[in-house]
Amino acid sequence: MPYKARLKTGEPRKRKKPGYRVTNARVDNQSLRKRSMISLYVPGGDLKAQLINAKIRTPGVSGREPTYTTAYIELIFTFYRLFGWGMRQITGYMEDYWETRGLDILVPSASQLAERFASLEVSVTQRCEQLARRLGRGETIRAC
């Protein structure tokens, strides 16, 4: 390998290493969102009512209710832990998923997800992470 010999002698590279620098953060953010595609089966019914909180305020209680239900945040958290995605990838996937299904369901932003994930009381066992790694390597999984 000629490039290895050059490294041993200390000669400079023939071509400069290409540097990567984000020049357009919006485009970079969109490309990170569109990295992965999987299918999600959701049974029929009023799905929007199950995921988005319709009532903004509760009479007699100060403050505002969260826009997104805990079930919706837990669904997104499952993708986050199981597949090891980033927050922007999750939001991009969910936006694309609802759009392809023709549903007008909002998706929380990455910063909203970070806040809600911190307050979630969901424990993910190590077996789940091991299973995700095995699936990522392409191994077949048998049911117990």
> What per-residue confidence (pLDDT) applies to 55?
76
- Rg of the chain in Å (alpha carbons): 22
Q: Coil, strand, or helix at residue 37?
A: coil
Residue boundaries of the structural domains of the chain: 21-136
Q: What is the mean pLDDT of residues 128-133?
A: 71
Question: For residue range 107-125, what is the model confidence (pLDDT) as tens digits?
Answer: 998 888 999 888 888 766 6
Question: For residue range 33-81, what is the model confidence (pLDDT) as tens digits?
Answer: 766 556 666 666 777 877 887 777 777 777 777 788 888 888 888 888 8
Share of the chain above pLDDT 70, in %: 82
Question: For residue range 84-93, what is the model confidence (pLDDT) as tens digits?
Answer: 888 888 888 8
